[in-house]
Amino acid sequence: MNGTTMTARYGLGDLIDVDRYPFDQPDSAAYRAAVDAARAQLRTDGCAVIKDLIRPAALSILSSEIVERKPTTHYSTQTMNPYFHTEHNPDYPDRHPVNTFLERSSGFIPGDSWESGCATDVIFRAPELTRFLAACLEIRRLHCYADPLAGLTANILDPGQQFTWHFDTNDFAVTVLVDEADEGGLFEYVPNIRNADDEGFDHIQDVLEGGRDGVVTLDLRPGDLQIFRGRYSLHRVSRVAADSVPRHAAIFAYTEQPGVIGRVVRTRQLFGRVLPEHEAAERERVRSDTLLD
Ligand SMILES: O=C(O)CCC(=O)C(=O)O
Ligand SMILES: [Fe+2]
């Protein structure tokens, strides 16, 4: 099957609720209202939810696409601090976020498991969606993250698993919850617990030790799309109960610059392997670093 045939399989209107969110009419009142609401939420606490963006029939397609690809999930259990480090750092006290390690036991379906034209990929790459997201984030233009593994992923939390408290390294993430757990698997966050001038270590330590001060549990349902600024807001997906169904979320990564590829070390940590593109990008970085020095 060639790319054109595959892409023609789903129109964007089959997958997302363009009656409620007229993505093809950016000048309409409904479009502007959705953008304004998301901007207000993002400014207040760095998190916006576009309710029921995915049509119910499309949601079951997204779910089957995840289930079909689930055997390609890279699971990794590690104990890590909120900055994704796993080693004790003697420059900090023992009872400190840098030296507090909690279990992350989820897995990711990697970017190269999704073929062009599947419903999840069509939504991820829809120019109408990136235009809408850019408007919500008050950014001029967004590009799909060019990383062949980390661009389009699904976060898989099977029964008993959790994605512990952390900060993201990218400025924002876009998530569509596809299958929710019956118990646990909740997205929790502490809005703006740190900022460029203040690491917020005391508050972070309190949350890592189970404190609930400032913790918000997001009301996110299957079919909702979440836009989240995860660099300043500590967040986690709580443990999925042992007798629950799994939690599956599609994660769309975008960048402001085109052609960005992730670092080798982080790629190995999340996906257990790297591709020639990652190694080439790393060599390119070394070369330009040498030139700059
Ligand atoms: O699955 C989610 O809702 C988000 C998980 C998360 O925080 C991440 O992948 O960085
Ligand atoms: Fe995150």
pLDDT in tens, 43-89: 999 999 999 999 999 999 999 999 999 999 999 899 999 999 999 99
Q: Is residue 292 part of a domain?
A: no
Look up the pTM and report it. Answer: 0.93
What is the best residue among 235, 236, 266, 267 to mutate for testing ligand 1's pocket, by most ligand atoms within 8 Å of CB?
A: 235
Number of domains making up the chain: 1
Q: Is residue 286 part of a domain?
A: no
Q: How many residues does the chain have?
A: 293
Query: Rounded to the nearest 5°, which phi and psi values hold at 160?
Result: 90, -10
CA of 237 relative to ligand 1 center, distance in Å:
7
Q: Residue 1: what pLDDT?
A: 42
CA of 94 relative to ligand 2 center, distance in Å:
24
The upper half-sphere exposure of residue 244, i.e. CA atoms within 13 Å in the direction of its Cβ, equals 22
Boundaries of domain holding 86? 3-260
Does the pLDDT at position 20 exceed 90? yes
Q: Is residue 278 part of a domain?
A: no
CA of 281 relative to ligand 1 center, distance in Å:
25
> Looking at residues 274-286, what average pLDDT do you find?
91
pLDDT in tens, 100-110: 999 999 999 99
Q: Is residue 136 part of a domain?
A: yes
Does the pLDDT at position 290 exceed 70? no
| SS3 category, 49 | strand
Q: Which residues line ligand 1 (CB under 6 A)?
A: 155, 163, 168, 175, 187, 235, 237, 249, 251
Count of C-beta atoms within a 10 Å radius of residue 292? 6
**Angle in degrees, 0-180, between the axes of helices 264-271 and 276-292, rounded to the nearest 10:** 160
Q: Is residue 270 part of a domain?
A: no
Does the pLDDT at position 218 exceed 90? yes
Collect residues with CB below 5 Å from ion ligand 2. 168, 230
Quote the strand ranges of the chain, DSSP E.
Answer: 47-50, 74-75, 78-80, 102-104, 107-109, 143-144, 152-157, 163-166, 173-179, 187-190, 216-217, 225-228, 234-237, 247-252, 254-255
CA of 187 relative to ligand 1 center, distance in Å:
8
Ligand 1 atom closest to residue 177's alpha carbon, by position in its atom list? 3
Nearest alpha carbon to residue 23 among 120, 144, 130:
130
Q: Is residue 274 part of a domain?
A: no
The upper half-sphere exposure of residue 81, i.e. CA atoms within 13 Å in the direction of its Cβ, equals 17
Q: Is residue 175 part of a domain?
A: yes
Provide, rounded to the nearest whole percent, the portion of the chain with pLDDT above 70: 95
pLDDT in tens, 144-187: 999 999 999 999 999 999 999 999 988 899 999 999 999 999 99
Closest residue by CA, ligand 1 atom 8: 168
> Looking at residues 20-24, what average pLDDT do you find?
96
Q: Is residue 276 part of a domain?
A: no
Check which CATH number belongs to the domain holding 51 and give it.
Answer: 2.60.120.620
For the ranges 126-140, 151-165, 261-275, which has the lowest average pLDDT?
261-275
The upper half-sphere exposure of residue 75, i.e. CA atoms within 13 Å in the direction of its Cβ, equals 13
Confidence of residue 8 (pLDDT cuts 50, 70, 90): low
Q: Residue 16: what pLDDT?
A: 97
Does the pLDDT at position 229 exceed 50? yes
